[in-house]
Structure 1
Amino acid sequence: MAVAFRAVDDVTDEDTSEPAPVKRQRRFPLAIWLVVALQAMLMIGMTVLYPSFQSPDEVAHVDYVIAHRQGEWFDGSGERRFQAGVQAAYGQVPGTQFRQHAGGVTPLPRSARKSFDTLGAGQGNLFPNQMTQHPPLYYGLAAAFTYVVPNWIHQRFDLQVFWLRLFSLLLLLPVPLLIYSTAWRICDNDSLALTAALIPLSMPLYLRTGASVTNDSLMILLGTVIVALLVKIAWGNLSRRTAVLLGLAWGAALLTKGFALSVPPAIGLAYLVGATGTFGQRVRQAWPGVTIAGAVGSAIGAWWWVRNVIVYGTVQPDGFSTLSDNDRQAVFGTDHLGGSDLNFPGNFFRLLGQRIWGSIGLIDQPSLDHWILFTMAIILAALLVLSLLVTHRRFATRRALVGVRSWTLGRASTLIVPALLMLVTMYYASRRIYLHGRQLSVIQVRYLLPAIIGLVICVAVAVHVLAGRAARWLPLATLTGTLVFVGASVYSVLDVEMSSNSPDRLQRLKDALHYVAGWAPFPAPVTALLLAAAGGVAVATLVVLAVMGAHTEPVAPPPAPRVLVGSESD
């Protein structure tokens, strides 16, 4: 069993004027592979829990994948209308966005569910598909994936949606491995790396993203790759190869979603932190990598945004530009008097805090008690601040105890800045809409998930420094808390959203399970087998983490003068 903590005698004085040494790990341990398997099984469980089209904008994403399959890659903003078959299928599934207790409606028998094309091949006239505002990479890849699935075009619509959801699941499979390997790069601590990889599994919205048809899945993968490369750079890898890889990842992200436009400042920061010497010397060392990454990324993905400016006069046009004002208010809510900058910040961060571990419905209902969600959000913010504070030399002994190498303020900031940039972008977009008298919008935590790797690593560092000798039990505690919280969230969805309106709680649960099984893409025995497999993987992961904790010997705190890890200056 690998020992997660370094002995104090192995810690040597480090001078961060030189690139931080990087220890290569030849293979991943069993525990992280179980985490990957558990993520996959939890996401499959989410595909069963939520019937087709019950995730944010899922019907629009499905329709636009079909459009790309048919070669319609460049519809004008607001010009795409939903395929008639997609509209028909959407109408057959009870919607949960504006109702509760959908389980009172008998599921449509599987034999009566038809393919999208059978339900109607032409475009309808009901509503514009706003996904025309997004670049084509995700939709093109998802359309290509449908050709890998035998006879996809003729399958029932719920199976067609399942396969597209599976594509999102596959895109997110590498994320725990990327988080683990990146965390391990900055420490010699399996416990810290595993804790970081487990934290996203506690977020129902992250699991739902891997169980939904959405371009957010590809954006999360690419964002995770980008931040992982930024960590390599900030820890001293200024090679041309890394710059090219970063440019490729950023270029692909530019062809996926507009939030990639916020990345360049983070690239510049990482190169400045990873360089050495005076500020002028760092700039001279940084500019070749920044130039290469910027040139490669721009060559791949900037053309889409330049095209928008030329054609529409704006970087990202409104996909609902052809929607009448009356129709818009009927769908999204009645406008109010213009808001102000006095009340917007409070409304913004209140809703954001509520949704970090919320958003288990469409979007905010049902929900666990808000005080639970707000408390978790406040703890997250506090741990992120603490991860910056522990860069101070007074924490050097505790950092050495948990194997964190060269944890400086600049390097810690490199992990947090990508999420801050996306948050600022989201804040600006939401504020602009709110001040024009419309409902609060654009406040979606899924927009921050592409930068989640940096946040969870910072949280893992902070809690390990706090835990000290008890840190070896943190992966087990994290997974236990995750399973309890996700279980409570799933129960809330079943009881409020998928149940009947029976006053008897047990009867509501039975009705909800019957409803979910009825809408699942597979027969009930297959669904039960998949859920049992998910439970088995969860138990196996708990056992392995418990054994790891028991076999990892805690290290006694060393005398402070014997340890110096990192430098407080970048």
Structure 2
Amino acid sequence: MSEPSPTRRARRGRVPRLVLAATVAFGALAACWSVLAPLGEAPDEPAHLALVLHLADGNPYPDYDGLHNQVAIIRLCKTFASATRACPRPGEQVTATSMRLHPLAEAPDKAHRPAWDDEGGAEPIGQLNQMPQHPPLYYQAMATVLRVERAVHGGPWSTDRELALLRLANALLITPLPLLCWWAGRRFGLDDRAASLAGLSAFAVPMLTHIGSTLNNDNLLTLVSFALVALLAGVVRGDRSTRTAVGVGVLGALGLLTKAFAAVFPPLVALAYLLGWLVARSETAPADPSIDDLEPPQPTGPLGTAGWRGSVRALAIAGAVTVAGAAWWYLGVKHRTGSFAPSIEGQRLTADLQPPGFEPHVSTFLQEFVPKLTQRFWGSFGWYTIRIPMWQASLLAAVGLGALAVALAPRRTADGSSRLQRAFLLTPVLALGAFVALRAWSLHVTTGQFPFIQGRYLFAGLAGAFVLVGVALRHLELRAATVAD
């Protein structure tokens, strides 16, 4: 048997039962959400469904401006969705929060609900679908789910049943999030208790399980990003192993093939390896030898075992794998369209939308941006028709920020992490937040409106924040025990 080395774990630790139970409960909660939320009652869910149905029928992936919505998804939306603004029926009053009721007596007969291509459902309508602007991984994966269902069943189920199946597939995608948070905590050097608290923190954001239970490409990006941050939590503590570098590269490529938002992660990968090298230069021994094999190896010697060359080599491997896995898509799009990430938004969000006399002001923008982002992050369900009160969202935000402040306060913690290393765990959500703010501001300047302010866009960066919440809760727990003694 190989002897333990700085790049080989001595033994494998077990996942605590609490974390396993939390993971199962998280998946069950998402599955419940998938049933409780009316079909089509989620941001852009009908548009996501239109692209999946197009691919499941054997069609190639369309250009960014090459897909029209189909009759079937509009029919489904009008039949099942509650928000009138999502797909208004003739004569309905449409407001930001108006909803239609669906009495049981008016439910369509289950035995006669149409498949997506029945009764002209496959026919396109005039409205362009914006979803082909995204890379294909998520949509091809969901289309594969439908292909398997149709192969087993001998044909397509009704459209509503296929969407229900896709929702369950998305609930399955986000089920591992508590486990990944625990793993990130262990790789960062936390003890099992603190890492378990990090896993439980995934329950703190109600909107996370709601979005995770619907058909939305953010769910695959969130899964991939949580796994990536778990690896980077070890990198920032000094892990420069080839296996980790390859894993980082693969996950980076998967993220970029899911959504262009993942472009924020390559700079963070470089930053993680830089901080890992600084650790190698300044530390001479493990911070806590009792920590088991799920922690990253700690370097030895004044410059670390591999020194800066090890960090550069690992970063080069991660970068090469990411480029090899994802560049083909973006280069192909650039060749066809002249842009790496083209969108039909430019045709819809124009200066024609500006109100008379509009002048953009940062203060006016922030007065809309901050409360909308806060409320939509914590709980603005469906098509934002069911919203938690603003005071509750603000209170939750204050508690969350307080926990992060507690985690960042010590210069060095018992697990040996520095404040700089802990601050790195916030960079994913901060990078995504900056991306959302800059894009929303740009669109506001153009249109005078307030588009793109979506709290769910931050979910992919939350793994590191949840680890810090675990750090804070463990710190407060130990402090309370000390006071009690």
CA contact (8 A) 1:19 1:274 kept: no
CA contact (8 A) 1:81 1:123 kept: no
CA apart distance, 1:422: 1.3
Matches of 1:415 and 1:277 in 2, distance apart?
A: 20
Q: Does 2:474 correspond to 1:464?
A: yes
Q: SS in structure 2 opposite 1:164? A: helix
CA apart distance, 1:433: 0.1
Which residue matches 2:292?
none
**Which aligned pairs between 1:516-535 and structure 2 lie closer than 5 A?**
none
> Which amino acid is 1:113 matched to?
R
**Which aligned pairs between 1:275-286 and structure 2 lie closer than 5 A?**
275=277, 276-277=280-281, 283-286=308-311
Q: Does 2:15 correspond to 1:28?
A: yes
Q: Does 2:435 correspond to 1:425?
A: yes
CA contact (8 A) 1:336 1:437 kept: no
Q: SS in structure 2 opposite 1:82? A: strand
CA apart distance, 1:334: 7.2
Matches of 2:377 and 2:7 in 1, distance apart?
A: 33
CA apart distance, 1:286: 1.9
Which residue matches 1:382?
402
CA apart distance, 1:312: 2.8
Q: Does 2:249 correspond to 1:239?
A: no
Q: Does 2:352 correspond to 1:342?
A: no
Matches of 1:55 and 1:23 in 2, distance apart?
A: 46
Q: SS in structure 2 opposite 1:125? A: strand
Which residue matches 1:449?
459
Q: CA RMSD in A?
A: 2.9
Matches of 1:83 and 1:439 in 2, distance apart?
A: 28
Which residue matches 1:307?
332
Matches of 1:110 and 1:452 in 2, distance apart?
A: 40
Matches of 1:446 and 1:298 in 2, distance apart?
A: 27
Matches of 2:477 and 2:461 in 1, distance apart?
A: 25
List runs of 5+ in structure 1 lacking aligned partners. 1-17, 394-398, 471-553, 559-570
Q: SS in structure 1 opposite 2:387? A: coil
Matches of 2:100 and 2:242 in 1, distance apart?
A: 55
> Which amino acid is 2:392 matched to?
I
> Which amino acid is 2:263 matched to?
L
Counterpart selection for 1:225 from 227, 231, 236: 227
Matches of 1:417 and 1:352 in 2, distance apart?
A: 18
Matches of 2:426 and 2:6 in 1, distance apart?
A: 20
> Which amino acid is 2:41 matched to?
Q
Which residue matches 2:100?
102
**Which aligned pairs between 1:143-162 and structure 2 lie closer than 5 A?**
143-149=143-149, 150-151=152-153, 153-162=155-164
Change (3 A) 1:94 1:414: closer
Matches of 1:312 and 1:52 in 2, distance apart?
A: 34
Counterpart selection for 1:86 from 70, 73, 79: 73
Matches of 2:429 and 2:97 in 1, distance apart?
A: 33
Matches of 1:351 and 1:19 in 2, distance apart?
A: 47
> Which amino acid is 1:70 matched to?
D
CA contact (8 A) 1:230 1:267 kept: yes
Cα offsets for 1:388-412 (capped at 9, x unmatched): 222x15xxxxx43xxxx12212321
Q: SS in structure 2 opposite 1:126? A: strand
CA apart distance, 1:457: 0.7
**Which aligned pairs between 1:127-142 and structure 2 lie closer than 5 A?**
127-142=127-142
> Which amino acid is 1:244 matched to?
V
CA contact (8 A) 2:170 2:214 kept: yes
Change (3 A) 1:293 1:86: same
CA contact (8 A) 2:72 2:117 kept: yes
CA contact (8 A) 2:185 2:233 kept: no
**Which aligned pairs between 1:254-269 and structure 2 lie closer than 5 A?**
254-269=256-271
What percentage of residue pairs aligned between the two structures are identical? 27
Matches of 2:11 and 2:372 in 1, distance apart?
A: 41
Q: Does 2:70 correspond to 1:45?
A: no
CA contact (8 A) 1:84 1:119 kept: no
> Which amino acid is 1:190 matched to?
D
Structure 2 length-normalised TM = 0.83
Which residue matches 2:290?
none
CA apart distance, 1:382: 2.9
CA contact (8 A) 1:78 1:321 kept: no
Structure with more contact order per residue of length (Cα contacts < 8 Å, sep ≥ 6): 1
CA apart distance, 1:325: 6.5
List runs of 5+ in structure 2 lacking aligned partners. 86-95, 283-301
CA contact (8 A) 1:355 1:444 kept: yes
Judge which range, 106-115 or 219-228, deviates more. Answer: 106-115
Judge which range, 280-289 or 203-212, deviates more. Answer: 280-289
Change (3 A) 1:336 1:77: farther
Q: Does 2:287 correspond to 1:273?
A: no
Which residue matches 2:390?
370
Matches of 1:211 and 1:103 in 2, distance apart?
A: 22
CA contact (8 A) 2:380 2:388 kept: no
CA apart distance, 1:222: 0.5
Cα offsets for 1:220-253 (capped at 9, x unmatched): 1100111011011112210111111110110011
Judge which range, 277-286 or 218-227, deviates more. Answer: 277-286
CA apart distance, 1:386: 3.0
